Structure 1
Amino acid sequence: MTGAGNDFIMFDNRNGKIKNPVELAKWVCDRHFGVGADGIILIEKSEIADFKMVYFNSDGSFGGMCGNGGRCVAKLAFILGISKGKTTFEANGKLYHAEIIDEQKVKLFLPFPQTKKLNLKLKLGKKFFKAHFIDTGAPHLVVFTDENSIKNIEKINVNQLGRKLRYHPKFENGTNVNFVAVIDNETIRMRTYERGVEGETLACGTGSVASAIASVEIKNLNLPLKVKTSSGEILTIFYDRNKSQPEFVSLEGSVKIICEGTLNYET
């Protein structure tokens, strides 16, 4: 499945057949020797929700929460008859809500982030970068191009600069890195270096949420805010700005099934 350009290999693991998802993710996500994807997502049984989502990055590392993956898994659960048009699922110890909008779009509601560290100054060599850290279920660094004298977001070497910021010593467990340029009061352009994938991805749901929140709070942009991803698709972010501490932030965009099949895999 793909969610706005993030692609995932999905497994219904409610029978517990998959015992070693780490090695499975490494193999099946390889774009030359496996199927190829940004990560794998398992649907598992939950005692507190309709189902549990378990996400692993393509390098086998545990991914925590993934926004576009959450929208994909909500659509798959609907197709499998696990849930109705609206669902609640468990992921990384938290509850998430999702709603099927139509055949193409799914909206995911994430808890509004509690951890925000704005206006950080990060030193890389002789240079300082101004950045903003927001944890949206996954850790994200937001770097505005205009705050760092970057004239053209499309010319950034995301894999090179993103990797350096991703491993910055300030972040003990590393972080995802989002480069953001403001297009207008209702639209931003975002490019993301994702940890676990260890490179630029075509989209990032939790990164879009972090980038949108930073854009609203730092740049005073309007909601709902459109995020133009590297896939060319638009993700739409909304939360109630009138509340000092909103309960949820929503992420809406496309979800598509690419193919279905049987995987020949020997553990």
Structure 2
Amino acid sequence: MRIEFFKMTGAGNDFIMFDNRDGKIKNPVELARWVCDRHFGVGADGIILIEKSETADFKMVYYNSDGSFGGMCGNGGRCVAKLAYMLGIAKEKMKFEANKKLYFAEIIDDEKVKLYLPNPRKREFNLKLKLDKKFFKAHFVDSGAPHLVVFTDENGIKNIEKININNLGKKLRFHPRFKHGTNVNFVSIIAEDTIRMRTYERGVEGETLACGTGSVASVIASVEKKKYKNSRQGENFKR
């Protein structure tokens, strides 16, 4: 069977996108594992399906590259909004369903898509997680996907660039405290309004070039724990 697909990237996160409103894709798990393979497939961090929704313009269904269900993806949400607009499925301002929640997006221009995320479902600060003989201080924020935020200065890490993300990130991602696992963001404070973030993504099982929900989780933790001030107030979305 021949299936049309689109390859898109959001800030370095790359996705293979399908218009599945007719339900032709029956096994997205195997499809994700096959097409996301960077050696024998197209290569991507995950796949995104556009499906029909009774409550919004469309439904976004996201699977990680290993075939696991991804829930919500921030950069993927911006990509799927752009594709839905390109295909005439939605107008410049749209709402879509993802993981049983509604999200709003807006096409700004050819290169910019704005995505509005709801308040985080869960926040836990000042966690102490034991790995081997060491304790790591971390903060948990569910910004549509579960994220652990690890500040380098709180854990004696001098240089974020020298962290072995695929080693340490993997250990924290599978920490027994998190029943279903978690994404892990290592964050360094650069300036009073700037942070540096590196992310280990579950489902991809490695470091990715960007993470939208991870960026949001890291900013929330920075505001709550590092006393950053919000530089902008939220904007009301109008259809």
TM-score, scaled to structure 2: 0.94
Structure 2 equivalent of residue 227 of structure 1: none
CA distance in 1, matches of 2:208, 2:120: 22
1:105-124: CA deviations, max 9, x gaps? Answer: 11111111131000100000
Which residue among 122, 125, 140 is the counterpart of 1:133?
140
Q: 1:239 deviation in Å? A: 5.3
1:106 to 1:48, Cα distance in 2 relative to 1, 3 A: same
* 2:66 is the alignment partner of 1:59: yes
1:206-234: CA deviations, max 9, x gaps? Answer: 0000000000111112334xxxxxxxxxx
Structure 2 counterpart of 1:77, one-letter code? A
Structure 1 segments (4+ residues) deviating >2 Å: none
Aligned-partner SS, 2:225 = helix
1:124-160: CA deviations, max 9, x gaps? Answer: 0110000000001110000000000100000000000
1:5-57: CA deviations, max 9, x gaps? Answer: 00000000011100000000000000010000000000000000000000000
Structure 2 equivalent of residue 149 of structure 1: 156
CA distance in 2, matches of 1:176, 1:239: 27
Structure 2 counterpart of 1:61, one-letter code? S
* Structure 1: unaligned runs, 5 residues or longer: 225-237, 241-245, 249-267
Structure 1 equivalent of residue 214 of structure 2: 207
Q: 1:247 deviation in Å? A: 9.6
Aligned-partner SS, 2:168 = helix
Q: How many residues align?
A: 230
Asked if the contact 2:184–2:200 (Cα under 8 Å) also holds between the matched residues in 1, the reply is yes
Aligned-partner SS, 2:177 = coil
CA distance in 2, matches of 1:38, 1:156: 21
Percent identical residues: 79
Asked if the contact 2:121–2:144 (Cα under 8 Å) also holds between the matched residues in 1, the reply is no
* Structure 2: unaligned runs, 5 residues or longer: 1-7
CA distance in 2, matches of 1:151, 1:57: 31
TM-score, scaled to structure 1: 0.84
* 2:112 is the alignment partner of 1:96: no
Which residue among 31, 36, 42 is the counterpart of 2:43?
36
CA distance in 2, matches of 1:113, 1:145: 23
CA distance in 2, matches of 1:152, 1:223: 26
CA distance in 1, matches of 2:92, 2:220: 27
Greater relative CO, 1 or 2 (CA 8 Å, sep 6+): 1
CA distance in 1, matches of 2:43, 2:228: 36
Aligned-partner SS, 2:34 = helix
Aligned-partner SS, 2:117 = strand
| 1:48-197 to 2 correspondences below 5 Å | 48-197=55-204
